[in-house]
Amino acid sequence: MKTIHGIPVSSGVVIGTVYVLSDSRRHVRRRTVAPDRVQSELARFDEARQSAIEDINQLHHAAEREMGAEAAKIFLFHVGALNDPNLNRKVRAKIEDDRVTAEYAISSVFDDWIALFGAKADPTFQTKVSDLEDICRRLLDQLLGARFDALDDMGPGTVVVARDLTPSQTAAFDRQKVVAIVTDLGGKTSHTAILARALSLPAVVGAQNATDLVEDGQTIVVDAERGVAIVNPDEDTIERARRAGERAASYQVSLRELVDQPAVTADGVRITLLGNIEFPEEVDTVLERGGDGIGLYRTEFLYLTSPDIPSEKTHFNAYTACLNKLDGKPLIIRTVDLGADKYTQERNRIPERNPFLGLRSIRYCLQNLGMFKTQLRAILRVSAHGPVRIMFPLITSITEFRQAKMLVHDAMEDLDDEGVPYDKDIPIGMMVEVPSAAILAPAFAREADFFSIGTNDLVQYTLAVDRTNERVAPLYNPAHPAVTKLIRDVARAARRADIPVSCCGEAAGEPDFAALLLGLGVRTLSVTASDIPPIKRLIRSLSIPQCERIAKKAISLDSETEASAYLRDRTRKLVPQAFDGRSVDPQG
């Protein structure tokens, strides 16, 4: 019996039989063609592209019926990519200039796109890698007339174990046969995770080497509440897994009942529960899960999907789409956080050796004023139509914040001259993501309209730990006393200045840490849509005095290990019902 650890992304506990799905990627050899064959290769590409679009449209309609419109929108990205003029231009240029086959041109161009998205540290953009691989594979299937994987061999009770899954593969699974998914790669926002949740398939992703540890036909328990898979379990483990599965199913039903309930603590304190998004389409999911608005709209995707800097119209349309869906609920737009990615590094004559400590985020914007002011103008214009707030990322000094605010006022003056309406009192806030900002919080509180604590970077920069580096990832711990003390000080500074403070990092979506945040004085949490119901359950189960006692004890401990253990044990004792679907343990 061996246990494989990963990331839980779609709830449930099941017992099944392993089916290892082979890696779908393959190498396409470079083959040149005679000059008189170039037009023929261009025609092959056009025909393959049109056929692929027809197939994806059919898949999209089928996915809408089975999974709902929101999850099915993933396939609209595929159609959009295939219709993208830049993609088509590059493939056709490759065929014409290099005189290569259509399949090699497609493979080469998509490899470049995959490298671009894969190099971005933000997992949101890394998730697009599987989309691009899926589109590339579909085009090559059209050209070469072959399927990479056979999905028909699966029997009832199958647990699919794969290095990664494309959206098409996941959507094609027979729900009468496939009962769970385990993958080596992926994260909480990967499309495997999104589709697995839409299909109600328990899933564990990011298991690193699961495909090396299992064989076809083995019995496996997938505990997608804790993020583990147990291979060749004994009878006791199987029985405990059955009972855990029943509890998890009951827990999910209870969460759905909370959607329309307010996020109010047991002693009557209203907590604002917002959602984090990357795309306008995700607003619907946040609202469906009971969110009060959008606390973090990341805007980098507008840049990474285009070879050109997005226009003011592109920005305006994206923000308007969000605002229209929110129907009066707040929208907090984080200005673009570029710099530590391949997009900007490729545009540097001399790439930076350590871009995460270099010209990134607000620093990058302040040195690319045309691009920055284009975004600011669009945000201001949208603010005339609903409650919008501007949030600057990775502020490290008062000077940076003042410079950024000055550019907002410059954009306001330009709009005044043009007679364009906007909210003249639009709130302007900042993310607290580095120790310098946390330490200077009292000074920033006199200048900012609100704070949003970004635990992802705050933990990373405080502890000098790259959370994407598996060698040091265990050291990444938001419960570290140094981090919690910084959060406490930021909350205190905000309270004294009477400005709102929220937390929008991933840690806010963990029940243990959410209780700590409430105890430290944070009254707004912004989390991924899937985390809204369980965090609401926690909020409604605890009182603020209980949270304050938890925070006081946790912050007094000098060891992050002790603090984590205390938070885990204490919150589970106080509100076990908030963990019914997360604390199952088939091993005991």
Domains of the chain, residue spans:
2-20+149-256, 35-144, 272-579
Residues 521 and 515 sit within 8 Å (Cβ to Cβ) = no
CA distance 540 to 153: 46
pLDDT for res 348 = 52
Q: Cα–Cα distances in Å, from 431 out to 88, 450, 481, 545, 564?
A: 39, 9, 20, 27, 25
Over the range 280-296, which residues count as b (16 or more CB within 10 Å of their CB) and which as e? bbbbbbbbebbbbbbbb
In this prediction, the residues of the chain whose per-residue pLDDT falls under 50 are 147-149, 341-343, 345, 581-584, 586-588
CA distance linking residue 554 with residue 569, whole number of Å = 11
Positions of E strands within 76-207: 158-162, 178-183, 203-205
Separation CA 311–CA 190 (nearest Å)? 28
Whether 528 and 189 have beta carbons less than 8 Å apart is answered as yes
Give the pLDDT score at 438: 98
pLDDT the model gives residue 58: 84
Displacement of CA 565 from its chain's centroid (Å): 26
Rounded to a whole number of angstroms, the CA Rg of the chain reads 25
Got the DSSP string for 380-423?
HHHGGGS-EEEEESS--SHHHHHHHHHHHHHHHHHHHHHT----
Strands annotated E in 77-190:
158-162, 178-183
Name which CATH class applies to 35-144. Answer: mainly alpha
Tens-place pLDDT, residues 531-570: 898 899 999 999 999 999 999 999 999 899 999 999 989 9
Question: Which pLDDT tens digit goes with each residue over 86-138?
Answer: 888 999 999 999 999 998 999 898 888 888 777 665 555 666 777 888 888 88
CATH number for the domain formed by residue range(s) 272-579:
3.20.20.60
User: Which residues have C-beta within 8 Å of that of residue 345, sequence separation ≥ 6?
Assistant: 351, 352, 355
pTM of the model: 0.68
Q: What's the CA gap between 127 and 251, in Å, rounded?
A: 28
Could you give the residue numbers annotated as active site? 191, 504
Q: What CATH class does 2-20+149-256 carry?
A: alpha beta
For all residues of the chain together, what is the average pLDDT? 86
DSSP 527-542: E-GGGHHHHHHHHHH-
Side-chain half-sphere exposure of 25, counting CA atoms within 13 A? 15
